[in-house]
């Protein structure tokens, strides 16, 4: 996946100097791709570092991920959409393409060279254009050493809250059922009748990649149950079938008690075959829990009534 990650303090961008130091440390003749989430400080500092690195003769390109749909076109007209968990898919796809001469995915076996930086950048931008994400949380996360200005009450849930405690699009004063939450989230992601948020076209029959992300404070049981609801509603309400489903803790808001849902419209990609191979490529990166790629649900469970009690009580005949 990534060769390096450059971090600032909690919820703050690293400095231009820190970023430039990181770029110098990993410079390569093949070039370097910088993947940045769309936040003002990050775009500013990484952009400045990119220009300084280019002035030094380094081969650098930068892409900005903006997959959030909570911030609509009208509200986000100046700064655009925030970068959320869809960024993880951009990391995985770009990283695998950069190393495709070295991995065992069947699509890449016949290739003996790394992909060009230009092709990786083009693929990353194609993926970004077809990504949508929205999250919800039962509360703000706790930032060490800081007191939050506001916490939610025990009966509230906020839809569209950002990963740095930014406000969401809607705060519900009564927590709906998990099924109702899944329905509200999918409507914000997929409703083509919402001119403020229909960033990516989706149609019945589209193939998608689904990522269910734990914002840090949700149990495995809860997030797995929610993932099941989302998959079922995608099929029953929108006639959309994921080609891959990833569930886990990929991008947290520290200990945020919430979940985000990301959809990549696979049917709109220019080169879906290589993107799928890049997603399936194995990695030793500890943060990627998507190495199990099988996802093939055929039909419904055959729920048969239990046999009579007597059938359970049979004793095997004596063997002598």
Write out pLDDT tens, residues 294-309.
455 555 555 566 666 5
Mean pLDDT of the chain: 87
> Looking at residue 305, what is its pLDDT?
64
Residue 174 predicted with pLDDT over 50: yes
Query: What phi and psi, each to the nearest 5 degrees, are found at residue 229?
Result: -65, -40
Residue 140: active-site member: no
CA 56 to CA 32: how far, in whole Å? Answer: 14
Q: Which member of 91, 113, 140, 164 is catalytic?
A: 164
Residue 314 within a domain: no
Write out pLDDT tens, residues 34-59.
999 999 999 999 999 999 999 999 99
CA 202 to CA 268: how far, in whole Å? Answer: 9
Of the residues 99, 129, 159, which one is the last residue of a structural domain?
A: 129
119 and 154 part of one domain = no
Residue 219 predicted with pLDDT over 60: yes
3 state DSSP class of 178? helix
More confident residue, 187 or 298: 187
CATH number at residue 162: 3.30.1180.20
Q: What is the span of the domain harbouring residue 160?
A: 133-269
CA 199 to CA 189: how far, in whole Å? Answer: 9
> Looking at residue 112, what is its pLDDT?
45
C-alpha triplet 68, 280, 23: angle, nearest 5°: 65
Q: How many domains does the chain have?
A: 2
For the entire predicted model, the pTM comes to 0.87
Residue 292 within a domain: no
CATH number at residue 61: 3.40.50.10440
Q: Distance from first CA to last CA of the chain, Å, rounded?
A: 62
> Looking at residue 124, what is its pLDDT?
96
> Looking at residue 102, what is its pLDDT?
41
Task: Indicate the angle between helix axes 86-98 and 272-280, nearest 10 degrees.
Answer: 90
Of the residues 269, 290, 312, which one is the last residue of a structural domain?
A: 269
Q: What is the mean pLDDT of residues 133-148?
A: 88
Of the residues 75, 105, 129, which one is the last residue of a structural domain?
A: 129
Number of helices (H) and strands (E) in the chain: give both, helices first: 8, 8
> Looking at residue 200, what is its pLDDT?
95
């Amino acid at each position: 996946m990534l060769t390096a990650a450059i971090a600032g303090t909690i919820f703050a961008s690293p400095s231009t100097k820190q970023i430039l130091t990181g770029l110098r440390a990993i410079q390569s003749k093949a070039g370097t791709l910088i993947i940045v989430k769309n936040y003002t400080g990050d775009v500013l500092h990484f952009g400045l570092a990119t220009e300084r690195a280019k002035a030094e003769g380094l081969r650098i390109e930068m892409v900005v991920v903006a997959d959030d749909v909570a911030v609509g076109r009208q509200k986000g007209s100046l700064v655009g959409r925030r970068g959320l968990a869809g960024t993880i898919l951009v990391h995985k796809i770009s990283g695998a393409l950069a190393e495709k001469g070295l991995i065992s995915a069947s699509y890449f076996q016949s290739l003996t060279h790394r992909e060009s930086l230009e092709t990786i950048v083009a693929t990353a931008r194609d993926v970004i254009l077809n990504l949508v994400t929205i999250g919800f949380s039962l509360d703000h996360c706790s930032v060490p050493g800081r007191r939050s200005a506001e916490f939610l009450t025990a009966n509230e849930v906020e839809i569209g809250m950002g990963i740095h405690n930014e406000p969401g699009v809607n705060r519900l004063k009564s927590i709906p059922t998990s099924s109702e939450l899944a329905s509200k989230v999918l409507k914000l992601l997929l409703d083509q009748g919402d001119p403020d948020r229909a960033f990516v076209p989706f149609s019945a029959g589209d193939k998608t990649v689904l990522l269910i992300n734990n914002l840090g404070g949700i149990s495995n049981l809860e997030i797995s149950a929610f993932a099941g609801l989302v998959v079922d509603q995608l099929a029953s309400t929108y006639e959309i079938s994921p080609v891959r489903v990833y569930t886990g803790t990929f991008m947290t808001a520290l200990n945020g008690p919430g979940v985000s849902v990301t959809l990549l419209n696979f049917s709109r990609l220019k080169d879906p075959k290589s993107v799928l191979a890049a997603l399936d490529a194995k990695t030793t990166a500890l943060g990627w829990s998507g190495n199990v790629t099988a996802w093939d649900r055929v039909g419904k469970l055959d729920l048969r009534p239990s046999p009579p009690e007597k059938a359970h009580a049979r004793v095997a005949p004596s063997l002598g």
